[in-house]
C-alpha cells in the first residue's frame, strides 16, 4: 500500500512539473515549390541547395519541422496567412518586406530573362523585352519586379515547369528566372539561352508575421553561423555549384 501511495505521489509530482501543452514546441512548416537547383523533388525526396540549408538550420535550432512542395501561389499564401509557416526560396523585395519575417540569405543571385534557343528572339534592352510575350509564375517575385519596370499582360502559370513548357512551345517569348535556375536548365539539356541579365536579388525564408520572435531569431542565428563557418559554400559545392555570394565577394577583392 505504501509503495502504491509513493508511486501515485511521484506521478502527481511529475505531472505538476511537466510543461503545459501550450508551452510545448510547435512545429514549423517550411513550404516551397519545384524550382531547381534551390528546391525540387529527386527520387521521391525533396532536395536542393536551399532545402539542405533549411534542414541544417532547423535541426541546429532544435525545431520540430516539416518541408513540403506545392504550387508557389499556395505556398506563398500559407506563409502569409498561416502561423508557423515559412515559404522559400523567396525573393526579398520592397513590396514583400513588411509582409513577412525574413531569414536570409539562402542565396544571393541575379535574375535573367530566358528565351528559347533558336527562336529568333533578339533582346538588348528592357524596351525590347516589353514588346514580346513574357510569362512567369503566379505570385513569383519576378511578376512584381517586371510590373514595376513597366511590363504588362504577363502570362501567369501555376509553376515554373508550366512556364518553361510555354516558352519551349512558343506560347511565350521570354521567362524570368534566377541565374542558377537558368544554369540548371542548361545542365538538364533544356534548349534555352540567356536573353539578358537583370537585377541582383536576395533569396531567403519568408515566415509568417506571427512567427515567435525566439524561433525567428534562432533560425537567423543558425543561418548566420552556416554562412560564416563555410557550411553554405559546402552545400553549394555538394550540388556542383559555386555560391554566387562567395563569387561576388571574391570579385570585389
Average pLDDT over residues 102-106: 97
Has residue 252 got a pLDDT over 70? no
Clarify whether residues 119 and 89 are in a common domain. Answer: no
The number of domains in the chain is 2
Q: Are 50 and 232 in contact, with CB atoms under 8 Å apart? A: no
Clarify whether residues 197 and 208 are in a common domain. Answer: no
Half-sphere exposure of 219 (CA within 13 A, CB side): 28
We report the CATH number of the domain holding residue 185 as 3.40.190.10
Q: Are 65 and 222 in contact, with CB atoms under 8 Å apart? A: no
* C-alpha cell at position 199: 537585377
List pLDDT tens digits, range 64-98.
999 999 999 999 999 999 999 999 999 998 889 99
pTM: 0.69
Residue 42 forms part of a structural domain:
yes
List pLDDT tens digits, range 21-67.
333 368 999 999 999 999 999 999 999 999 999 999 999 999 999 99
Report which of residues 207 and 10 the model is more confident about. 207
Clarify whether residues 123 and 175 are in a common domain. Answer: yes
Residue 4 forms part of a structural domain:
no
Amino acid at each position: 500500500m505504501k509503495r502504491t501511495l509513493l508511486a501515485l505521489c511521484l506521478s502527481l509530482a511529475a505531472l505538476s512539473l511537466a510543461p503545459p501543452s501550450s508551452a510545448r514546441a510547435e512545429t514549423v512548416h517550411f513550404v516551397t515549390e519545384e524550382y531547381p537547383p534551390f528546391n525540387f523533388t529527386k527520387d521521391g525526396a525533396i532536395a536542393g541547395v536551399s532545402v539542405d540549408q533549411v534542414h541544417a538550420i532547423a535541426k541546429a535550432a532544435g525545431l520540430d519541422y516539416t518541408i513540403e512542395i506545392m504550387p508557389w501561389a499556395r505556398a506563398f499564401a500559407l506563409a502569409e496567412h498561416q502561423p508557423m509557416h515559412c515559404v522559400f526560396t523567396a525573393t526579398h523585395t520592397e513590396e514583400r518586406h513588411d509582409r513577412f519575417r525574413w531569414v536570409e540569405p539562402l542565396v544571393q543571385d541575379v535574375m535573367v530573362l530566358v528565351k528559347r534557343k533558336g527562336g529568333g528572339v533578339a533582346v538588348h534592352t528592357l524596351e525590347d523585352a516589353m514588346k514580346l510575350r513574357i510569362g512567369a509564375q503566379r505570385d513569383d517575385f519576378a511578376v512584381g519586379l517586371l510590373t514595376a519596370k513597366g511590363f504588362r499582360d504577363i502570362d501567369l502559370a501555376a509553376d515554373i515547369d508550366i512556364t518553361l513548357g510555354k516558352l519551349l512551345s512558343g506560347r511565350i517569348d521570354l521567362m524570368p528566372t534566377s541565374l542558377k535556375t537558368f544554369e540548371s536548365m542548361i545542365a538538364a539539356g533544356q534548349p534555352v539561352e540567356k536573353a539578358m541579365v537583370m537585377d541582383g536579388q536576395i533569396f531567403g525564408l519568408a515566415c509568417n508575421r506571427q512567427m515567435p520572435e525566439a524561433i525567428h531569431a534562432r533560425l537567423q542565428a543558425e543561418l548566420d553561423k552556416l554562412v560564416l563557418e563555410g557550411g553554405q559554400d559546402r552545400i553549394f559545392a555538394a550540388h556542383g555549384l559555386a555560391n554566387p555570394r562567395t563569387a561576388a565577394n571574391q570579385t570585389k577583392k
